[in-house]
Amino acid sequence: MQRRHLLALLGTSLLARTGHTRTTPSSPALPLGTAINRAGRLRALSQRVAKLHVQSALGVLPERASDLMRQCRQLIEGSMEELGRQPLNADTQPLMPRLQGHVDRLLVITVGGGAAFRTDDVVRAADDMLQSADALTTAFEKQARQNGARVVNVAGRQRMLSQRAARAHFLQAAGGTAAAGQAQQLETARREFDEGLGYLASAPLSTPAIRQQLELARGQWLFFDQALRRPGQGDALQTVATTSERMYEVMDQLTGLYEQAIQELYR
């Protein structure tokens, strides 16, 4: 009963807070490259929140995880507010309320560290949010009808894969039922991240800043991938925690550079 009450109370509060922005007619629409970036960021944040939840449960840099969790919640709410002023067509119209529901669910069950909820609740809610955010990101990409839009989507997806890989690594370390299937999920995330880097390296859309950031991403990936291959215990877990955050930051910056480039290209 206490859990149901918390869900109802906080869910109503979140809906009221995010719903207010959508009714503000003076807010300008986002460029579609920016909309792709913001929706794609929500994919990553879903996995990042779940990763930080498991990280805290394992006692790996718990204070840092708590600080990052607060930042994630702010980024999620801010991204939803921005997307709330985006004009929606027949493809995107049904996707926003579905995403909002999954966002609210994840924020509710991770409030205060989500101690009242099991890890599998958080993982399931995060994956529901991931699927909804991915559907919206793909719909915005189709709406853009620009070759460069695909690059923004792929670069943004790399953020998600970095957090999904780290989450799988932590779930393996947690053991028990939480570890089931995580070895395969980790391997899939690692492979898809490597493929994504290859795609970005061959993409025609490029600037000196993009090339420099892409090279930084390649170097950071070597450190992160090595950390993911180590057994999940002791200092190795701390290394995954720190390198996954650095990987997220590098790919977030690279996605922003691609977003800027297509805005310049199609201005």
Question: So where are the chain's domains?
Answer: 2-265
Query: Is the pLDDT higher at 152 or at 15?
Result: 152
pLDDT tens digits, one per residue of 63-99: 999 999 999 999 999 999 999 989 989 999 999 999 9
What is the residue-averaged pLDDT of the chain?
89
Average pLDDT, integer, range 204-224: 97
Long-range pairs for 120-128: beta carbons < 8 A, 24 or more residues apart:
120/177, 120/178, 122/49, 122/50, 122/53, 122/54, 123/50, 123/54, 123/167, 123/171, 123/178, 125/50, 126/46, 126/47, 126/49, 126/50, 127/46, 127/50, 128/102
Q: Name the most confidently modeled range: 24-33, 165-174, 231-240.
A: 165-174
* pLDDT on residue 70: 96
Q: Flag whether pLDDT at 15 surpasses 50.
A: no
**Cα distances (angstroms) measured from residue 63 to each of 50, 53, 55, 177, 193:** 16, 12, 10, 26, 28
Whether 17 shows a pLDDT value over 50: the answer reads: no
The whole-number pLDDT of residue 146 equals: 77
DSSP 26: T
pLDDT band (50, 70, 90) for residue 117: low
